[in-house]
Amino acid sequence: MDQQAAYSTPYKKNTLSCTMSATLKDYLNKRVVIIKVDGECLIASLNGFDKNTNLFITNVFNRISKEFICKAQLLRGSEIALVGLIDAENDDSLAPIDEKKVPMLKDTKNKIENEHVIWEKVYESKTK
């Protein structure tokens, strides 16, 4: 394969990115449920997005507590685990929920307890 052909061959990772954007395009100006990587579940209207899945959402509510969060918000794509469309006809997204029956979503971030202590020890070992 010559060098020109290697650059013109589509890379599969880009295909996945395009598929995600096409799906989000269908969700514009509609109510969506958003699950963030920290486990927080939001209900909002999707008003915009970009190629990095950064979202502009409005009328944002916490799905579990039903608490109104804000009128408009920007979410970074790296903070989003899932975006799904809410059925407008059967929208009970803000109906009461029995919190005992709802499994709490696990935080997907890799958090290390007392990470600053570890980095202090690394710094000390390198400065000796």
HEC string for the chain = CCHHHHHHCCCHHHHHHHHHHHHHHHHCCCEEEEEECCCCEEEEEEEEECCCCCEEEEEEEECCCCCEEEEEEEECHHHEEEEEECCCCCCCCCCCCCCCCCCCCCCCCCCCCCHHHHHHHHHHHHHC
* Architecture of the 28-88+109-128 domain: Roll (2.30)
pLDDT band, residue 80 (cuts 50/70/90)? very high
Residue boundaries of the structural domains of the chain: 28-88+109-128
φ, ψ of residue 81 in degrees (nearest 5): -100, -35
Q: Say if residue 99's pLDDT is above 90.
A: no
Q: What percent of the chain has pLDDT over 70?
A: 64
CB 76 within 8 A of CB 89: no
Retrieve residue 34's tokens. Answer: 């958003």
Predicted local distance difference test score (pLDDT) of residue 78: 92
**What integer best gives the mean pLDDT of the chain?**
77
Predicted local distance difference test score (pLDDT) of residue 88: 67
Residues 67-92, mean pLDDT to the nearest whole number? 86
